[in-house]
């Protein structure tokens, strides 16, 4: 039963045109990743406080507060100087070059 459920879930995942941000981080479904929190879920989904999401959803400026680039998840979490202290406090892999690398926990 569990195997069939996981296979059905994977088929839905593979054929979904939604959750593009999430699918770029996780190619296969996995029950180990079912835990999260409010902030982590925003990083994984690309929804929430990110300026590009605010632009798509509410017509706000897509530019980051720093003014150097658009406020994508990647820019905000990996590159933006304004977020350096938060990166240093909350992430173990401070020198990650991608969101996928930053979120790896194995």
Q: Dump pLDDT digits (tens) for 9-41.
A: 777 777 777 777 777 777 777 766 555 778 888
In total, how many domains does the chain have? 2
Q: How far is CA 57 from CA 16, 23, 63, 69, in A?
A: 21, 20, 14, 19
What range does the domain containing 25 cover?
1-29
How many CA atoms does the CB half-sphere of 45 hold within 13 Å?
12
Note whether 22 and 47 are same-domain residues: no
Quick one: average pLDDT of 102-106?
66
Q: What integer pLDDT is reported at residue 92 of this predicted model?
A: 67
Note whether 10 and 60 are same-domain residues: no
Note whether 42 and 76 are same-domain residues: yes
CA dihedral 20, 24, 25, 31 (to 10 degrees): 60
Note whether 25 and 42 are same-domain residues: no
Note whether 55 and 90 are same-domain residues: yes
pTM of the model: 0.68
Q: Give 66's pLDDT tier (boundaries 50, 70, 90).
A: very high
- pLDDT greater than 80 at residue 1: no
């Amino acid at each position: 039963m569990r195997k069939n459920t996981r296979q059905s879930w994977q088929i839905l995942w593979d054929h979904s045109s939604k959750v593009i941000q999430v699918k770029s981080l996780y190619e296969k479904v996995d029950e180990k990743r079912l835990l999260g929190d409010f902030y982590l879920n925003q990083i994984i989904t690309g929804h929430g406080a990110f300026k590009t999401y605010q632009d798509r959803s509410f017509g706000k400026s897509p530019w980051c507060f720093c003014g150097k680039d658009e406020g994508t998840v990647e820019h905000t979490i990996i590159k933006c100087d304004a977020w350096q202290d938060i990166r240093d406090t909350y992430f173990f892999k401070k020198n990650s070059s991608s969101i996928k690398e930053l979120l790896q926990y194995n």
